């Protein structure tokens, strides 16, 4: 990093940083031009490039945490999950970074600001099903996202896309790749983090279920659930069909032992498919 905290405009001899796309609890994501691809004939070759922000860039083992995010998500191949490209270290600045698919569209948190009364079911349902499909796929690949919230969901012309696995981990992970523990910084977003995570518990598939259920509730209600909302007083959101409410209510349970629904089961409930009693 320079004395101003800004990275050089050219990284890896090929990636020209254009502007900041977003900042998270740990990293900064830029839109960058891949000059090598442009020299080989591509008219425009944008990528998203993530590097560590201050003060994490100063930690001696922070680059390992950045690599762990890349390694976790690089094998995922799903149209609703961001694609990872490469992990590199700029030799001159010694800045570690990785490149990934540049997503066009609007993050879901910004979309929700424009919909204070929630989305109509005809718009909400396909969005919810696509998001559940993406999260269900990651769970099938034994990957936990860890930070399911509207700011980590892109909405574009081709649908939604889930990104930012910075707080994720493998379900069967025995030891972290990094000695920089995630518990050293408060990265959870309280409105979408499962209660057990806010209390210091371990990440689980049930925690991801809670996060995606909070998103669906907000899409249908227009307002956040709230981390202290009493479950016994929750009512079916105005934009949600009543036959979907029982499943969503289970997914919103504050006690993880009572959150007995999987992402796939929640997806089937949101599809509202009635059982066929004949062949």
What CATH number does residue 150 fall under? 1.10.510.10
The CATH number for 63's domain is 3.30.200.20
Are 178 and 125 in the same domain? Answer: yes
Whether 120 is in a domain gets the answer yes
* 92 & 117 share domain: no
Q: In which domain, by residue range, is 245 found?
A: 106-271
Does residue 177 sit in the same domain as residue 231? Answer: yes
**Does 169 lie in the same domain as 250?**
yes
Question: Is residue 153 a part of any domain in this protein?
Answer: yes
Residue 50 in marked binding region:
yes
In a domain, 2, yes or no: no
**182 part of a folded domain:** yes
Last-in-domain residue among 44, 72, 100: 100
Q: Domain check: are 199 and 253 in the same one?
A: yes
Domain end point (choices 58, 74, 100): 100
250 and 117 in a common domain: yes
Q: Answer yes or no: is 184 within a domain.
A: yes
In the chain, which residue ranges form alpha helices assigned H by DSSP? 35-39, 62-73, 108-113, 121-140, 195-198, 205-221, 242-251, 263-271
Specify whether 80 is located in the same domain as 134: no
Structural domains in the chain (count): 2
Q: Which two tokens stand for residue 17?
A: 């940083």
pLDDT tens string for the chain (279 positions)?
Answer: 555 568 999 999 999 999 999 987 678 999 999 999 888 877 778 999 999 987 666 776 778 889 999 999 999 999 999 999 999 999 999 999 999 999 999 999 999 999 999 999 999 999 999 999 999 999 999 999 999 999 999 999 999 999 999 889 998 763 444 444 554 445 678 889 999 999 989 999 999 999 999 999 999 999 998 666 667 678 999 899 999 999 999 999 999 999 999 999 999 999 976 554 444
Last residue of a domain, one of 70, 100, 130: 100
Q: Please check whether residue 67 is in contact with residue 129, taking contact to mean a CB–CB distance below 8 angstroms.
A: no
Torsions phi, psi for 99 (to 5 deg): -110, 150
Residue 31's contacts (CB-CB under 8 Å, 6 or more residues apart) are 17, 18, 19, 21, 46, 47, 48, 49, 102
């Amino acid at each position: 990093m320079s004395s101003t905290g800004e990275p050089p405009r050219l990284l890896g001899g090929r990636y020209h940083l254009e502007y900041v796309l977003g900042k998270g609890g740990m990293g900064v994501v830029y839109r960058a031009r891949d000059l090598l691809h442009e020299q080989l004939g591509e008219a425009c070759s944008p990528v998203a490039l993530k590097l560590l922000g201050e003060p994490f860039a100063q930690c001696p083992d922070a680059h390992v945490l950045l690599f762990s995010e890349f390694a976790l998500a690089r094998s995922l191949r799903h149209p609703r999950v961001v694609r990872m490209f490469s992990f590199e270290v700029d030799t001159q600045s010694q800045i570690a970074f990785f490149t990934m698919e540049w997503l066009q569209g609007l993050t879901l948190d910004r979309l929700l600001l424009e919909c204070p009364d929630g989305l109509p079911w005809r718009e909400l349902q396909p969005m919810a099903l696509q998001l559940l499909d993406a999260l269900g796929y990651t769970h099938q690949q034994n990957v936990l996202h860890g930070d399911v919230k509207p700011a980590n969901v892109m909405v574009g012309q081709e649908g939604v896309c889930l990104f930012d696995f910075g707080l994720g981990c493998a379900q069967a992970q025995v030891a972290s790749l990094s000695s920089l523990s995630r518990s050293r910084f408060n990265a959870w977003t309280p409105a979408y983090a499962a209660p057990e995570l806010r209390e210091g518990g371990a990440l689980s598939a049930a925690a991801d279920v809670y996060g995606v259920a909070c998103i669906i509730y907000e899409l249908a209600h227009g307002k956040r659930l709230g981390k202290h909302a009493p479950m016994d007083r929750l009512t079916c959101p105005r934009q949600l069909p009543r036959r979907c409410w029982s499943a969503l209510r289970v997914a919103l349970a504050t006690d993880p032992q009572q959150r007995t629904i999987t992402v796939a089961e929640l997806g089937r409930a949101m599809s509202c498919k009635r059982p066929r009693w004949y062949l």
